[in-house]
Amino acid sequence: MGGGHPHTSNADTVGWLNRHWAAPTPADDYFAGPYHVSAATNRSGYDVMVDFEPHWFSDEDSTFPPRLLIYVPPSRRHTRPSAAPARRLTYGP
């Protein structure tokens, strides 16, 4: 993610979710093993987080499968319009 910000801890990942999602995410509800990585960026006015956990975890109470998730909250940041002219999409011959 060019220009993204890697998260250095699970607290950073959960903090991002809690800043951008409607429902709070308790840190202990979110499995992050030793190979977990996540990073956040903003693309075209949308905040985005990529979250990757290659291993699974299971105990008596819960199971967390491996995951690769891309989070995009439903709201868009107010951004300045681009100085570049808009491109028109055309279809057909």
Domain boundaries, the chain: 5-71
Q: What is the pLDDT of residues 8-67, one digit of tens each?
A: 998 999 999 999 988 888 888 788 888 999 999 998 888 999 999 998 888 888 888 899
3-state secondary structure (DSSP) of residue 44: coil
pTM above 0.75, yes or no: no
Q: What is the pLDDT at residue 77?
A: 59
Phi, psi torsion values for 43, nearest 5 degrees: -130, 125
Q: What is the pLDDT at residue 81?
A: 46
Cα three-residue angle 26-69-62, rounded to 5 degrees: 45
SS3 percent helix, strand, coil of the chain, rounded to 5, is 15, 30, 55
Q: Residue 24: CB partners within 8 Å, gap ≥ 6?
A: 18
